[in-house]
Amino acid sequence: MMISSNVMIGEIKMGLAVILIVVGFVLLIKGADFLVEGSSNIAKKFHIPEIIIGLTVVSIGTSMPELFVSVTSALSGYSDMAIGNAVGSNICNLLLILGLSAVIKPVKFQRETRIIEIPMCLIITVIFMILCNLGTGISKIDSIILIGLFILFILYTIFMGIKGEQFDREDNVSTPKDDLNNDISIIKSIIFVILGAIGLKIGGDFTVDNSVIIAEHFNISEQIISLTILAIGTSLPELVTSVTAAIKGDSDIAIGNIIGSNIFNMLLIIGVSAFIKPIVYNPTYNIQMIILLFGTILLALFPMIPPKNEMNKPNGIIYLTAYFIYMIMLFKV
């Protein structure tokens, strides 16, 4: 009787943990939305150009779920989960989300994407791998290097955005003005930012704490949980954005969202997490690092394979198959 009661209590705890993880993901995603909307409106009030808002506030905002989960993990002493969430999200973004986008509709590559942004992502991936394997992990000095590279990437992105906007103006391409009725007051914008930050904090706590409960219940390592549940859950904003963009034929958004998110995860997410508390690196993650590097190299090669300058359905199937095999390998180990 006692055993059955304990089993029942265990099942209730598990069910509650799953529910709280789902609630955590919802809070992370909605918290990021609120933070982006509030911050964007405050920026507009101070007449900051929309292109800069889009390339900084909005881009960073979509990476907030990963940031809060990784920071919470690092502060709680779960280094495996901090690294696993970032690396797992990058693999998910690349193989699953971009693969799915290409299967839905071929993803076209712009010249800057082919010759600058994809090689940049590849170089950053290599630097990230090297820093992780130097010493015992990501130290505070390493974190400063990562954050410094992130600032350089943001400056490059803003420069390219302003350059593109100038071309649009020269070509008399007009952008629709925001409806004044949708304008939000400063007070409401500040409330949005505060609610967003609270949602992100609570969502991060719910997600990490209950992922640990599930891992302990099923005797699964924190590494596996972070590479699967956390990685896919925190990549939901990228999934929605890229798949929607693919359906609408907006290739620039689909590919830009993935490359930008992967760079943010390596530089900003791990950089900030390690700056707050140095992260101990588990060398077993080198397998995932190699998979991530291999996927990024493939991304650089796809535009060179006929039909050139695009990632087509067969390429997408290659990515999806690789992700499926990768997931099987995770649970076989």
Structure confidence at residue 298 as a pLDDT band (50, 70, 90): very high
Q: What average pLDDT does the segment 120-133 reach?
A: 95
Angstrom distance (rounded) from CA 278 to CA 275 = 6
| Residue for token pair 């998110």 | 261
Angstrom distance (rounded) from CA 303 to CA 309 = 4
For residue 49, the model assigns a pLDDT of 63
pTM above 0.75, yes or no: yes
Task: Tell me how crowded residue 79 is: count the other CB atoms within 10 A of its CB.
Answer: 23
Q: Can you say how many angstroms the Cα of residue 326 is from the centroid of all Cα atoms in its chain?
A: 19
- Give the percent of the chain with pLDDT over 90: 31
For residue 173, the model assigns a pLDDT of 44
For residue 192, the model assigns a pLDDT of 86
Q: What are phi and psi of 176, to 5 degrees?
A: -65, 140
For residue 50, the model assigns a pLDDT of 57
Q: Which of 6-20, 178-192, 248-262 has the lowest mean pLDDT?
A: 178-192
Choose the most confident range, by mean pLDDT, from 57-71, 157-171, 239-253, 285-299.
Answer: 285-299
Nearest residue to 93 via CA among 206, 255, 288 = 255
Angstrom distance (rounded) from CA 156 to CA 168 = 18
Provide the mean pLDDT of the chain: 83
Token readout for 266 is 């390596």
Task: Tell me how crowded residue 242 is: count the other CB atoms within 10 A of its CB.
Answer: 28
For residue 127, the model assigns a pLDDT of 95
Residue range of the domain that includes 241: 2-332
Angstrom distance (rounded) from CA 207 to CA 128 = 25
Question: DSSP labels for 4-23?
Answer: HHHHHHHHHHHHHHHHHHHH
pLDDT tens-digit series, residues 189-228 = 888 888 888 888 888 888 888 888 888 788 888 888 888 8
Half-sphere exposure of 301 (CA within 13 A, CB side): 9
Cross-strand partners of 138:
279
Task: Tell me how crowded residue 8 is: count the other CB atoms within 10 A of its CB.
Answer: 10
Query: Could you give the C-alpha distances from 256 to 130, 139, 173, in angstroms and in order?
Result: 25, 29, 21
Domain count, the chain: 1
Query: Could you give the C-alpha distances from 38 to 44, 231, 260, 310, in angstroms and in order?
Result: 10, 26, 22, 36
| Whether the Cβ atoms of residue 124 and residue 267 lie closer than 8 Å to each other | yes
Q: Judge whether residue 103 has pLDDT over 80.
A: yes
Angstrom distance (rounded) from CA 199 to CA 323 = 31
pLDDT tens-digit series, residues 48-97 = 665 566 556 666 777 788 888 888 888 888 888 889 999 999 999 999 99
CATH code for position 302:
1.20.1420.30
Q: Which of 195-209, 259-273, 285-299 has the lowest mean pLDDT?
A: 195-209
Bond into 307 cis (ω within 30)? yes
For residue 278, the 8-state DSSP code is P
Task: Tell me how crowded residue 258 is: count the other CB atoms within 10 A of its CB.
Answer: 24
| Residue for token pair 């020269």 | 170
Angstrom distance (rounded) from CA 321 to CA 318 = 5
Cross-strand partners of 311:
107
Structure confidence at residue 159 as a pLDDT band (50, 70, 90): confident
Q: Judge whether residue 283 has pLDDT over 50.
A: yes
Q: Judge whether residue 179 has pLDDT over 50.
A: no
Nearest residue to 211 via CA among 67, 23, 64 = 23
Q: Which residues of 119-136 are buried (b: 16+ CB within 10 A; e: fewer)?
A: ebbeebbebbbebbeeee
Cross-strand partners of 107:
311
